[in-house]
Amino acid sequence: MPPERPPELMATRSRSSPDLKPPRVQEARKAAPALRKSPSLFLNSPDPAALFEEDGRLLTVNDAALNEGAPWPTAGDPPPPELLPFWTDAGSRARLLRDAATPDGARNLEVRVTANGDPTERIFWITARACPEAGEGRFIAVAREVTDKSAELERLKSLYNELAERSDRDPLTGFLNREHFRFDLDREVARADRLGAPLALIIFDLDNFKTLNDTHGLAAGDEYLRVLGDALRGAVRPGEPLARVGGDEIALVLPETPAGEAAVAAERLVSLVKRMTPLWEGNPLNLTVSAGVALYPEHAGGATDLVRAADLAMHEAKKRGGARWRMHDPGSRERNRIGHLREQSNRIRAALSEGRFVPVFQPVVEIRTGRVVSVETLARMRETDGRLVAPDEFLDAAERFGFVTAIDRLLIAGAFDALVAAKRRIAPDLEMAINLSGLDFEDDDLVADISRMARGKGVPPGRVTFEITETAALRDFARVQSFTRALVAEGFRFALDDFGIGFSSFRYLKELPVSSLKLDISYVRNLATSPDNRVFVRGMADICRGLGVTTIAEGVESADTLAILAELGVERAQGHHIGFPSPDLPAGALDQAGSRPRPAV
């Protein structure tokens, strides 16, 4: 019999191996009829495993669990308050039992263990689920040590933060770049909604900046922007992000700022730039700015409309001679724009009623073999003249007037139909990825409807992956978590798209049921020239491989990039080098020369 465990501190265990003498196979069979066919699979697993009752009473453990300090169970024993490496106290035991009882079980619950006399902390991720085949109210748990992977993850986090800081900033001004600005603005709009507080946006454009470049050269223009960056940073308050959103266009977000304060800020900035006189080769560089101010929610219903409103006001200031600011006036221009959006909404409404939203498919290949293993489903709207238009031409109106979920439902149905119709022509295991909008998570019936649709059309859920972006996940993380777990419980898979552009990327790997991960194009595009990007991509490929998560690189535009991705251990790739979106599902594999279908849409 294994020796009694010493009364050590919580989460501390001995590394000495107990003498494993009991008739282990017979005990396992007695504890769990489900193990009768292959008890050795349970007992000889390299990962610690345990079978227990719903109240935490231990039924049996394998050798790996005994080696980690788990006790050999005795009939009538109460639930152990500590069961290393599965739980360290009654609180972590309750959390594991609670999550294990959910439809998709407990996933990657973290337990930290310190060995006797060794300050090194070891980290385990625990997965547990109901085991009805072993009897009602019984659960099986498996612990996987991720100590090395966790350290690597922390190193990658540090590298990621450094890369993100560089990629999110304009090198001349030090301001946020356009992509990061939109992310920040979306976040501030959501925060304004939660707080019921006003939000102001100022967009200002340098007057006659092109003339300065033409007269003194581009280097003079760069120097002016550098000096402008220093001056503006010193003129704004903490928590008011500045962004360079164009060559000579700057944006300033003012959280919790009413109209009067926004007007004072705009006047102050216009005056500041007017007073600036940086020198270039002994010549003063004098410019002015035209600024536009817009308020949320007074002038706009969302981030996109807020930018447009501020931009309209800025152009009004420029029309009046520049060197001034204007508050947005929802007058004729705005009415014209709203009229245009309403016209677009009528086109969308007609296209929905006539079933003219159709899927197109971009191939995804397994890099090692070149075989097409999956497709990403993309949306197109077919005009009455047969022309297919991309989301850029209808997404704004679709989001504003609430058509997004209806469009996605139509696309999902069309994608399922295409998969069924082409089953004799395509590989029987071809997978399909379908994008979901952040607005889809607000539809409480969508998961059930998707599942019903798949069953009705005969589409195996395991071949379908639903993708969301980090930005969408950030809208309401708890709702997204519930939605994705419900999808996985129905047999579908879930993928995280554009990985690496947000601020909680690594949190998602642990807290969402991710089966695949798409590296953001910004990390793929410059692989040949960016050693940092290569380190990050290799590290993420290693981490994901250890967690059983498939890595996919999007935006692959050349054979050189594809070769680097293979060397870095990325498993799949898509992009124009692989194949363009097409109405037809692909039937072939990418050949070694990199030939691919030409764009059909």
On whether both 240 and 382 belong to a single domain, the answer is: no
* The pLDDT value given to residue 1: 40
Per-range mean pLDDT, top range of 241-250, 264-273, 336-345: 264-273
- At 84, which CATH number? 3.30.450.20
The CATH number that applies at residue 324 is 3.30.70.270
Range of the domain at 267: 172-330
Q: Reply yes or no on whether the pLDDT at 467 is more than 70.
A: yes
The residue from 307, 330, 353 where one domain ends is: 330
If you average pLDDT over every residue of the chain, what do you get? 82
Sort 563 into a burial class: Cβ within 10 Å, 0-12 / 13-18 / 19+.
middle
- Whether residue 353 sits in one domain with residue 278: no
Prediction pTM value = 0.54
Does 244 share its domain with 206?
A: yes
- What pLDDT does 158 receive? 66
**pLDDT tens-place string over residues 345-355:** 899 999 999 99
Percent of the chain beyond pLDDT 90? 34
Most confidently modeled range among 217-226, 233-242, 565-574: 565-574
Residue 486 has pLDDT above 50, yes or no: yes
Q: What is the CATH number of the domain that holds 555?
A: 3.20.20.450
Q: What is the predicted pLDDT for the residue at 9?
A: 27
In angstroms, the Cα distances linking 374 to 378, 407, 512, 584 are 13, 22, 22, 13
Torsion over CA: 180, 182, 183, 184 (sign) = positive
Question: Other CB atoms closer than 10 Å to residue 467's CB: what's the count?
Answer: 21
Last residue of a domain, which of 128, 145, 162? 145
Q: What is the DSSP letter of 582?
A: B
Higher pLDDT, 309 or 131: 309
Q: Is residue 380 part of a domain?
A: yes
For residues 297 and 424, membership in a common domain is answered with no
pLDDT surpasses 80 at 387: yes
Q: Are residues 140 and 215 in the same domain?
A: no
In a domain, 75, yes or no: yes
In a domain, 66, yes or no: yes
Confidence at residue 451, expressed as pLDDT on a 0 to 100 scale? 94
What is the domain count for the chain?
Answer: 3
Predicted confidence (pLDDT) per residue in 567-579, tens digit = 999 999 999 899 9
pLDDT for the residue numbered 39: 54
Q: 109 and 185, same structural domain?
A: no
Residues 372 and 234 in one domain: no
What pLDDT is recorded for position 595? 43
On whether both 297 and 398 belong to a single domain, the answer is no
520 inside domain: yes
Judge whether residue 398 has pLDDT over 60.
yes
* SS3 letters across 70-135: CCCCCCCCCCCCCECCCECCHHHHHHHHHHHCCCCCEEEEEEEEEECCCCCEEEEEEEEEECHHHC
**Same domain assignment for residues 346 and 320:** no
Residue 260 lies in a domain: yes
- Within-domain flag for 550: yes
Is there a single domain that holds both residue 129 and residue 213? no
